Amino acid sequence: MVDATHGPDAHAAEFPDVELYHPRSWWTRYVFSQDAKVIAIQYASTALAIGMLALVLSWLMRMQLAFPGFLTFIDAAAYYQFITMHGMIMVIYLITALFLGGFGNYLIPLMLGARDMVFPYVNMLSYWTYLLAVLVLVASWFTPGGPTGAGWTLYPPQAILSNTPGQESGIVLMLVSLILFVIGFTMGGLNYIVTVLQGRTRGMTLMRMPLTVWGIFIATVMAMLAFPALFVACVMMLFDKLLGTSFFMPALVEMGELLPHDGGSPILFQHLFWFFGHPEVYIVALPAFGIVSDLISTHARKNIFGYRMMVWAIVIIGALSFVVWAHHMYVSGMNPYFGFFFAVTTLIIAVPTAIKVYNWVLTLWRGDIHLNPPMLFALAFIVTFVNGGLTGLFLGNVVVDVPLSDTMFVVAHFHMVMGVAPILVIFGAIYHWYPKITGRMLDNTLAHLHFWVTFLGAYLIFFPMHYLGIMGVPRRYFESGDISFQPPSAHDLNIFITVMALIVGAAQLVFVFNLIWSIRHGKPSGGNPWRATTLEWQTPETPPVHGNFGRELPVVYRWAYDYSVPGAAEDFIPQNQPGTNPPHSEAPKKRRGAKS
């Protein structure tokens, strides 16, 4: 732990005020705003809105699986459009955008003691490009043939062939939307990276940053390296579709007719897609790791256990996640010898990931655990993430993947680990930071209702689903009732899962109601309701105004986890609290191993 402190005379107001852009009208203050906090709320609202659409789509596809034929407008084409759009929206347009565009924008400047992102104008463009990407995606519903139904992985050749829904224009709009998303995200991402590297206030060394920032920072670096692969894959497929090139298209016969493509490689697309797609899993997971560390530490009133190990685990996971992508392709027909390499790298990632889990639960040990809504969601995250992470050890172990790949086991696994778990963190984070964003608390009773239904319901949806996959039920089946080896009881399980999905989905309406209702009617929160140490809770105003910190930027004297410090007056010491550090200040080094 770096504990060098700056003298109490360190002066923060060395950046002239003119450097900060000031809005002059309502439009530039609330709509075309360059303030990261406003952009964050714009990102988050857009992501939650499009996420509600993805939620409704999941209801519809579950209705089809449990009660085939009940909703007559769902035919096979519609079903495949629903699963494709549900997956794409949830992964990219909801979770990625919300973690990085939403929490990243709101928390990075505030947690680092900066007035704003370093490139506010580009930051604004980032949001508007993202919004355009969402609108292009939604527009595909209003084109002939509708949105693409190629599955969220968009595998060619099928994605651009005529027996796939959305072949007319849906696939084109999908690819254009992804390209726009990558462009928009690159503008935002460069901002986050440069702000973390250059915009920290005095005393905020890298090893004093809250883990939230570490998670978002490394995830953004990864996104900068991974999204280009998606970008080029989309461009190449657009060329195949619109210009008749053959990047991914071998000679093939469609409906008895030889198409003019020749020599392309479908598996090349899969490599490009998963070179993006696997880091994407961690782009979603690392911000969740970081945020949940801070939630657990704050609400257990205890420093995060093994901070340095946590930072290095984030960095190592981020690096390793670039050499595991082909574990999505064990049965793709790639050279089978790759299986050895990718199984080894994939299972190695389990080690730093497990360390993170141990450190979360060891943070609870001898803590002072306040079961506030953010803590409840953090605990639920641990349960679902451990569950989903462990089933990843089945799928990552190449030969075990052979029977399980492309079955409902995979669906259950990735929903648990990169759907349910990160979204539980998103909820916890919203309950945690809503008071800072609005100055009011969310209603506690509604929060508990939302929590219990969401957590238990999601577990009851996805835990039993694994067993359908072990039985061998394939995923992406519009109808699965007539599979020979499936007992009738499997259909009962499908009905149960669907009913739970409807209930869990409905519980999200409670959450949305709480979000809107509490803006006006919530209990006033004060500036630091959770008695937290990090800088965003130390702003002079709540919600923080333009410029975040008033006339002078805070100066940081300690790490982010000084909770329950022996000898301190209170059970937390804000990072910017000046004065001599209590005797524990060199503790991290001296006390190492003291407990063993």
Partner 1 sequence: MVVAVVLVLIVVGSVVFHFLSPWWWTPIASNWGYIDNTIIITFWITGAVFAAVVLFVAYCVWRFRHKDGQKADYEPENKRLENWLMGLTAVGVAAMLIPGLFVWGQFISVPAEATEAEVVGAQWQWAYRLPGADGKLGLSDTRLVAADNPYGIKPDDPNGHDDVLIEADYLHLPIDKPVKMLLRSVDTLHDFYVAEFRSKMDMIPGAVTYFWFTPTRTGQFEVLCAELCGTGHPYMRGGVVVDTQEDYDAWLAGQQTYAQLYAPEVLKTADID
71 to 90: interface string for partner 1, x by CB under 8 A: -----xx--x----------
Please work out, in degrees rounded to the nearest 5, the angle formed at the alpha carbon of residue 427 by the alpha carbons of 278 and 109: 75
- Min CB(477)–partner 1 separation in Å: 4
Nearest to 359 by CA among 419, 407, 292: 292
- Min CB(332)–partner 1 separation in Å: 5
- Min CB(331)–partner 1 separation in Å: 5
Q: What are phi and psi of 25, to 5 degrees?
A: -140, 170
Q: Considering beta carbons, is residue 370 or 521 the nearer one to partner 1? A: 370
Please list every residue from 487 through 516 that binds partner 1, using CB under 8 A.
Answer: 487, 489-490, 493
How many Cα atoms within 13 Å fall on the side-chain side of residue 384?
33
Compute CA distances 469 → 426, 464, 524, whole Å: 28, 9, 48
**Residue selected from 15, 45, 163, 506 as contacting partner 1 according to rule CB under 8 A:** 163
**Interaction of residue 254 with partner 1, rule CB under 8 A:** yes
Candidate segments 51-59, 112-120, 537-545, 556-564, binder of partner 1 by CB under 8 A: 556-564
What whole-number distance in Å separates Cα of residue 398 and Cα of residue 336? 10
CA dihedral 265→270→276→279, nearest 10 degrees, is: -140
Please list every residue from 130 through 149 that binds partner 1, using CB under 8 A.
Answer: 149
- Min CB(100)–partner 1 separation in Å: 28
What whole-number distance in Å separates Cα of residue 331 and Cα of residue 333? 5
Please work out, in degrees rounded to the nearest 5, the angle formed at the alpha carbon of residue 463 by the alpha carbons of 458 and 465: 105
Please list every residue from 436 through 475 that binds partner 1, using CB under 8 A.
Answer: 456, 459, 463-464, 467-468, 470-472, 474
- Min CB(148)–partner 1 separation in Å: 12
Give the distance between the most distant pair of CA atoms in the chain.
81
- Measured over the CA atoms of residue 222, residue 228, residue 234 and residue 236, the dihedral's sign is negative
**Interaction of residue 308 with partner 1, rule CB under 8 A:** yes
**Residue selected from 147, 199, 210, 266 as contacting partner 1 according to rule CB under 8 A:** 266
Please list every residue from 313 through 352 that binds partner 1, using CB under 8 A.
Answer: 331-333, 336-337, 339-340, 343-344, 347-348, 350-351
**Residue selected from 63, 135, 323, 362 as contacting partner 1 according to rule CB under 8 A:** 362
Q: Is the separation of the CB atoms in 498 and 462 below 8 Å? A: no
**Interaction of residue 6 with partner 1, rule CB under 8 A:** no
Please list every residue from 384 through 443 that binds partner 1, using CB under 8 A.
Answer: 386-387, 390-391, 393-394, 397-400, 402-403, 405-407
Candidate segments 108-116, 355-363, 429-437, 530-538, binder of partner 1 by CB under 8 A: 355-363
Size of the site for partner 1 (CB under 8 A): 121
What whole-number distance in Å separates Cα of residue 388 and Cα of residue 10? 47
Compute CA distances 395 → 358, 391, 392, whole Å: 22, 7, 5
